[in-house]
Amino acid sequence: MSKSTIASEGVFPLAPYKSASQIDLRARIAAVRQEMGNRLLILGHHYQQDEVIEHSDLRGDSYQLSRMAADSETCEAIVFCGVHFMAETADILANRPEKLEERSGRRVNVILPDLAAGCSMADMAGINQVEAAWADMADVIDTERVIPVTYINSAASLKAFCGRHGGIVCTSSNARAVLQWAFERGDRVFFFPDQHLGRNTALKMGIEPSQMPVWDPYQLELGGNTDATIQNSRVILWKGHCSVHQMFRPEHVEQFRSKYPGIKILVHPECPREVNDIADVSGSTGKIIQTVRDSPAGSKWAIGTELHLVNRLKAEHPEQEIYFLSPVVCMCATMYRIDLVHLCWSLESLQTGHPVNVIEVDPEVTRWSLVALERMLAVK
């Protein structure tokens, strides 16, 4: 679990910031950044709005940003323009025991500008639900031979669960290598919270769909499965998904291929199997960005991932034709909560020595989360 400081309005009430102009907010944010210098790191996830990305010192995916920030020797505070589980990971890495020792016990404050910035996928798997599922599985299979794997897009408590039970964390770029690691150590994988990443990765490894039952935490009997189904399993998938990537459908792919001959479809592996299977390229956010960067002028892409990222790629690569794969506006609504109002408020509060929305993960959860994360780092 993690705790957060109360967003006290006793120092700087949030309301006046809401009436400030965008020009004023940008200037005030810039002033804090200049005054704090390299003592401050503002992290901007790829899905953030452009006006937030503009003020970010580092831009990337959740784990990459946390790792880079944790490696800084001068940083005293991290403001994470992302969502809650990302700030937790940053706190775990930046304030791990060896880092605290290097700083004589001084913690790096990790701040989430708006505590309402969560992740619907991460919220689909609660620690109590996962522990209950684990106990139910033990009635029909040997859980000593089940390796739990949690996607980085999960609460710290789930990462700690994996650490305690011989499991590991994965990202969308190393999921296959992590599953291979897991199968070298057990007979089955329990994969959460995103069923699509788990399924798409396992299918490419030759695992049959019939060997990948979905565990529904709201079904009382074995997640809606029979004893035989669980006993026949290789990968037990949690019934979770990303609300953004769930929106892309096979008919969207067909429409673009019909309308734009020669166009290629580029999607994230959090998309459903029906889309992932017919895409030309499937890969992590980093792979999506690199694929576009490496493509020649005149290339045509329909990209199935978060809208702000697609629009940014379109602006950065005018020499290519880039389209958003869905006709429906599809953005990460919780990520969208981070705006200049909350960023400026949290920065000025920090500057005056009254930080708000500080994310601090419980030491025991940190300990076991690090075990799972370090196993991931050792995977080649």
Q: If residue 150 lies in a helix (H) or strand (E), which one and from where to where?
A: strand 146-151
Residue 183 and residue 189 in contact, taking contact as beta carbons nearer than 8 Å:
yes
Is 2-117+335-361 CATH 3.40.30.10? Answer: no
pLDDT at 57: 95
| Topology annotation, domain 121-242 | Rossmann fold (3.40.50)
Alpha carbon distance 221, 135 (integer Å) = 12
Q: Where in the chain is the domain with CATH 3.40.50.10800?
A: 2-117+335-361, 245-324
Residue 118 and residue 153 in contact, taking contact as beta carbons nearer than 8 Å:
no
The encoded tokens of residue 192 equal 């959460």
CATH superfamily membership of 245-324: NadA-like (3.40.50.10800)
Q: Which is it for strands 214-215 and 264-267: parallel, antiparallel or unpaired? A: unpaired
The per-residue pLDDT string of the chain (380 residues; one tens digit each, 9 = 90 and over) reads 566 554 555 578 899 999 999 999 999 999 999 999 999 999 998 888 889 999 999 988 878 888 888 888 899 999 999 889 989 999 999 999 999 999 999 999 999 999 988 788 888 999 999 999 999 999 999 999 999 999 999 999 999 999 999 999 999 999 999 999 999 999 999 999 999 999 999 999 999 999 999 999 999 899 999 999 999 999 999 999 988 899 999 999 999 999 999 999 999 999 999 999 999 999 999 999 999 999 999 999 999 999 989 999 999 999 999 999 988 766 566 666 899 999 999 999 999 999 999 999 999 999 999 999 999 989 97
- Chain centroid to CA 176: 17
pLDDT, tens only, 38-97: 999 999 988 888 899 999 999 888 788 888 888 888 999 999 998 899 899 999 999 999
Residue 149 and residue 222 in contact, taking contact as beta carbons nearer than 8 Å:
no
SS3 state at 197: helix
Residue 35 and residue 296 in contact, taking contact as beta carbons nearer than 8 Å:
no
Exposure on the CB side of residue 144, measured as CA atoms within 13 A: 1
The angle, 0 to 180 degrees and rounded to 10, between the axes of the packed helices 175-183 and 195-204 is 70
